[in-house]
Amino acid sequence: MTVTWRDVARKDFEDVVRSKLLWAITAAFVGLLAFFLLVGYVSGDTDEGSMTEILSGMGQFVIFFVPLIALIAGYMAVVGERQSGSLRVLLSYPFSRTDVVTGKVVGRSLVVAATILFGFLVVTVLAVPLVGEVAVAELAQVAGLTIALGVTFTALAVGISAATASRGTALAWTVGVFIFLLVLWEAVAVGIYYLVHGSRPGLEADAWYFALYQANPLESYRLAVDQVTDSYVWPMVQLGLEDVPFAEAGPEELRVESRVDGGLPFYLQPWFSAVTFAAWIAIPLAVGYRRFAATDLE
């Protein structure tokens, strides 16, 4: 019988859906999506515009929960089986190491994508009777961007899992990368800007500064949702290192379109987030696979 990465993906999908921790975080994610929709309804804004505002508000929490779900789903993908010894059993069948990594990414990405789709389905079901006319195009685009973000972090986690030899190391790298992208990226971007200009970025800044943010998949997602919904998406974590009066500036002033002089360059357009996601999928997987392929599992 011929076996392929599809068989690995099928088995992996079945294994991951049994994770109680994953389901707990998923429940929190779906609950928050529903909560934001209900808050938007109670506030009294029930037109189509309010739906896009709710989507932009949800984006703030998606930035935290979706990567967390994806990283939990993926960080034990290879290293967990490696330490338990089941990976050697798996490779005793006619699977190649390419089949293993590919199957792990696909199987766990399907779990994450299904979780996200379920969350947006809840939003849609609640939106129809409560909000009335749903912004279908914006909802579909934000859902697509969210799935892409989830797949990106799943691939990142599997890449880390394939590259490491112990669960502790995989967990440390996973948590470290997540914290760096969520919390510390602003410090790096502002620091580079300061080295170039000798001052912190203000309300108006060079386009290349925002390109640094676009290189972060979390920020790339946030900027894309911002433009799709035409409503400012607040960062989940903000260190306040920019020379910007956040307490006084309105959302319109904080949007990238307002902070860049002239039209937005191509690398700050919503579609460019696909390039960022593709890079964060390909590079960690390539590094992880190379280390995995060279590892002696005996």
Residues 21 and 136 in one domain: yes
Domain total of the chain: 2
Q: In this structure, are residues 201 and 209 in contact, taking their beta carbons and an 8 Å threshold? A: yes
Asked if 191 and 93 sit in the same domain, the reply is: no
Neighbouring CB atoms inside 10 A of 253's CB total 15
Q: What does each C-alpha distance from 130 to 28, 34, 123, 134, 137 come to in angstroms?
A: 21, 11, 10, 10, 18
Phi, psi of 235 (to 5 degrees): -65, 150
Q: Which stretch of 36-40, 45-49, 69-73, 227-231 has the lowest confidence by average pLDDT?
A: 45-49
Per the model's pLDDT, the better-predicted residue between 28 and 168 turns out to be 168
**Do 34 and 173 fall within a single domain?**
yes
Same domain assignment for residues 120 and 247 = no
The reply to whether 170 falls in a domain is: yes
- Residue 161 and residue 119 in one domain: yes
Per-residue pLDDT, 255: 87
179 vs 11: which has the higher pLDDT: 179
Do 32 and 78 sit in the same domain of this protein?
yes
Task: Provide the pLDDT for residue 46.
Answer: 46
> What's residue 25's pLDDT?
75
CA 141 to chain centroid: 15
Expressed as residue numbers, the domain containing 96 is 5-182+277-293
Q: What angle do CA 209, 212, 215 make, to 5 degrees?
A: 155
* Closest listed residue to residue 66, CA positions, set 167, 159, 181: 181
Which residue's entry shows tokens 């109670």? 42
Mean pLDDT across 249-255: 82
**Structure confidence at residue 211 (pLDDT):** 92
Output the six-digit token pair for 20: 């109680």
Per-residue buried b or exposed e for 220-243, using 16+ beta carbons within 10 Å of the residue's own CB: bbbbbbbbbbebbbbbbeeeeebe
Domain assignment present for residue 266? The answer is yes
For residue 298, tell me if it sits in a domain: no
The answer to whether residue 240 scores a pLDDT higher than 90 is no
Q: Is 198 left (phi over 0), alpha (psi -120 to 50) or beta?
A: left
Query: Is 240 part of a structural domain of the chain?
Result: yes
Q: Which residue has the higher pLDDT, 84 or 286?
A: 286
Is residue 58 located within the same domain as residue 115? yes
The model's pTM is 0.90
CA angle 60, 113, 19 (to 5 degrees): 95
SS3 content of the chain, % helix, strand, coil (to 5): 75, 0, 25
pLDDT average, residue stretch 42-67: 70
Categorize the per-residue pLDDT at 180 as very low, low, confident or very high, splitting at 50, 70 and 90. very high
> Does 52 share its domain with 132?
yes
pLDDT at 260 over 80: yes
Question: Can you tell me the distance from the alpha carbon of 234 to that of 224, in angstroms, rounded to the nearest whole number?
Answer: 12
- Note whether residue 288 is domain-resident: yes
Question: Chain centroid to CA 102: how far?
Answer: 19
The confidence band for 40, taking pLDDT boundaries of 50, 70 and 90, is low
22 and 69 in contact (C-beta within 8 Å)?
Answer: yes
Asked, for residue 247, whether it belongs to a domain, the answer is yes
For residue 16, what pLDDT is reported?
A: 76
- Joined together, the tokens standing for residue 177 give 């990368």
pLDDT tens sequence across 85-134: 788 887 777 778 888 899 999 999 998 998 888 888 887 777 766 666 67
On whether both 201 and 229 belong to a single domain, the answer is yes
pLDDT of residue 133: 67
pLDDT at 161 over 90: yes
Across the chain, what does the average pLDDT equal? Answer: 85
- The reported pLDDT for the residue numbered 41 is 58
Whether 191 and 247 share a structural domain: yes
Token pair 């593709």: residue: 278
Residue 268 shares a structural domain with residue 289: no
As a whole number, mean pLDDT of residues 264-273 equals 88
pLDDT tens, position by position, 144-156: 999 999 999 999 9
- Over residues 5-26, the mean pLDDT reads 79
Whether residue 34 lies inside any domain: the answer is yes
Same domain, 174 and 220: no
